[in-house]
A and B are shown apart, each in its own frame.
Chain A
Amino acid sequence: MALVKKEAVVEQKATKRSSFRQDTRFPVVSIILGMLSLIGMMVSIWMIFLYAPMDAIQGNSQRIFYFHVPVAWLGMLSFVIVAFAGVVYLVKKDDRWDWVARASAELGAFFITLALILGSIWGRTIWGTWWTWDARLTTTLILWFIYIGYLMLRNYMGRTSASARAGAVLAIIGVIDLPIIYESVNWWRTLHPTAQVGVQGALPPSVVLTLMVALTTFTLLYSFLMLQLYQLQRAQALAQQLRASME
């Protein structure tokens, strides 16, 4: 029995090593994604500043919306990915899912920071205030705190399996908690403009088209960055393994 176990461990190590190797191919996907997001960025910038019509009431500051919505959406999606990868990690105990979670958390924290800053600038010009305790804003701020807590926890605990499990649990609790936080703050008070994209005739088609292009572009950029961060996580794990084997 003990022998079988030992063999299994050796085998696992071998597959782990080969998974390191197979990922070091020529980064075709990365380059394609990078090129696509670069092209998308140029098209989006042209559409946002020249193609999309000027808002009758809000003026130019409405154009922040084309950056703010994709960035906020990806920041929130990231946390769902962190939690999902956490669940899979707890079930499968495969390090690669932990790299996904960590990469997604780092990227999500960055995107949600951008969303908060952009939203704040927009709020200053339209609402006349940098910040208001509305349900979406408050939930986004709390999501930001959870991201930072997650990253701090992971950094304090280092690259161990205990750290991966703790991170997964934090992400699972967080992802269940966020809708409750949203609802509780909503009951408390709210002011954010409601989503108007789906409603017929609420927004002119050129605005919707620009928003869709911006969304696609940012999602491409997100996937590109996500791949890079995942590779970075993988390289860091590999470096740590090599360092441990040297000692």
Chain B
Amino acid sequence: MTFLSQVQAILWKDIRCELRSKQTWMSMGLFALLVLVIFNFAFDLRVDNKAAIAPGALWVAFVFASLLGLGRTITAEQEKGSMDRLMLCPVDRKAIYLAKLLGNILFISVVEIIALPIFAALFAVPLFTGELLPIVLLGTIGIATIGTLFSAIAAATQARELLLPLLVFPLIVPVVIGAVRATGALMTTSVNEPPWLGMMLAFDVIFLSVSLLTFEYVIEE
């Protein structure tokens, strides 16, 4: 079995599990929508402040919803007792990480695809430009890369759901800043924006490499 087919096998298992239970997708999507609705009340959106608030609201919704799903990455395996079996499989630990990461990116992307049109409708912002795609993709990869690694760390403790956001939020600050500013730059014409996309790309590449290297230490029994 090659490395890629190992990744594919684990990923496909997770997708099938999710297609049958639909737990994570449903709760993440609904949660993202609820955050958007709450933001609508909290900030009393008007035409003049929309451009300043909407990108932040969108990304807070995405980050919170992602964390909800990321927390389930390893915990779901542990609850079914399948984590030990996964560990016993003669697969590279990097393959497990990569499969879990790809699964998380896929789940978060589905939620984002559903939430984006509703966001555009609720907030009445024109967001359907091709330029939004790389921002959302790079942001999602950044959140998922750190989140997948730390969901494995947090799963080893008693207080999984409590600890995960505490560890992940400080570390993904650059992604959040970059994504919010880049999204904001799409909505208003701004000059001299720093290269946010490049920064997010660098973030993703660096932490993907570091996570691949360190995941085996986190999950080692």
Q: Is the CB–CB distance between B214 and A173 below 8 Å?
A: yes
A84–chain B nearest beta-carbon distance, Å: 15
The winner among B146, B157, B159, B207 for most chain A CB atoms within 10 A is B157
A146 surroundings in chain B (CB, below 8 A): 170-171
Q: How large is the interface on A (under 10, 10 to 19, 20 to 34, 35 or more residues)?
A: 20 to 34
Question: With an 8 A cutoff between CB atoms, is A55 at the interface?
Answer: no
Say whether B199 contacts A170, CB under 8 Å: no
B residues within 8 A CB of A145?
Answer: 166, 169-170
Interface string of A165-193 (1 = CB under 8 A from B): 11011101110110011011101100000
Question: Does B102 reach chain A (CB closer than 8 Å)?
Answer: no
Please give the distance in Å from A23's CB to the nearest CB on chain B.
27
Contact B210 A172 (CB under 8 A): yes
The reply to whether B199 and A165 form a contact with Cβ atoms under 8 Å apart is no
Number of A-B contacts (CB under 8 A): 83
Q: Is the CB of A185 within 8 A of B177?
A: yes
| Contact A173/B210 with A152-B163, A180-B199, A185-B177 known, Cβ cut-off 8 Å | yes
A245 to chain B, nearest CB (A): 23
A157 at the interface (CB under 8 A from B): yes
B218 within 8 A of A: yes
Q: Across the interface, do B158 and A165 meet the contact criterion of CB distance under 8 Å?
A: no
Across the interface, which residues of A come within 8 angstroms of B173, CB to CB? 142, 181, 184-185
Residues in A whose Cβ lies below 8 Å from that of B220: 162, 165
Give the distance in Å from the alpha carbon of A142 to the alpha carbon of B93 in the complex.
30
B203:A153 contact, CB within 8 angstroms: no
B138-149 vs A, CB cutoff 8 Å, 1 = contact: the mask equals 000000001001
Distance of A197 from chain B, by nearest CB (Å): 28
**Residues of B close to A157: CB separation below 8 A:** 156-157
Residues in A whose Cβ lies below 8 Å from that of B163: 149, 152-153, 156
**B167 & A169 in contact (Cβ 8 Å cutoff):** no
The CA of A174 and the CA of B172, in the complex, are separated in Å by 10
Whether B170 pairs with A162 at a CB distance below 8 angstroms is no
Partner of A173, one of B157, B159, B166, B171: B171
Q: Which of B163, B171, B194 has the most CB of A within 10 A?
A: B171
Q: Separation in Å of the B180 CB from the closest CB of chain A? A: 9
Is A152 a contact of B158 with CB atoms below 8 Å?
Answer: no
Task: Evaluate whether A184 and B217 lie within 8 angstroms (CB atoms) in the complex, with A145-B170, A170-B153 already known.
Answer: no
B55 within 8 A of A: no
Chain A nearest Cβ from B160, distance in angstroms: 9
Contact, CB under 8 Å: A169 / B202: no
The verdict on A90 contacting chain B, using a C-beta distance below 8 Å, is yes
B168 — nearest CB in chain A belongs to which residue?
A149
Query: A169 with B153: in contact, given A90-B217, A149-B166, A180-B203 (CB under 8 Å)?
Result: yes
Contacts of B194 in A (CB 8 A): 187
A176, B166: Cβ atoms under 8 Å? no
Give the residue name and chain of the A residue nearest to B181 (CB): A188
Q: Which residues of B contact A142 (CB under 8 A)?
A: 170, 173
In the bound assembly, the distance between CA atoms of A149 and B172 in angstroms comes to 14
Partner of B167, one of A149, A181, A184: A149
Is B56 positioned at the interface, with any CB of A under 8 Å from its CB? Answer: no
A169 and B199: CB pair below 8 A? no
Q: Kindly list chain A residues whose C-beta atoms are within 8 Å of the C-beta of B166.
A: 145, 148-149, 152
Cβ < 8 Å to A, chain B residues 202-221? 202-203, 206-207, 210-211, 214, 217-218, 220-221
| 20 pairs of residues in contact across A and B, judged by CB atoms under 8 Å | A90-B217, A145-B166, A145-B169, A145-B170, A156-B157, A157-B157, A166-B218, A169-B218, A170-B150, A172-B214, A173-B146, A173-B171, A173-B211, A176-B207, A180-B174, A184-B173, A184-B178, A185-B173, A187-B194, A188-B181
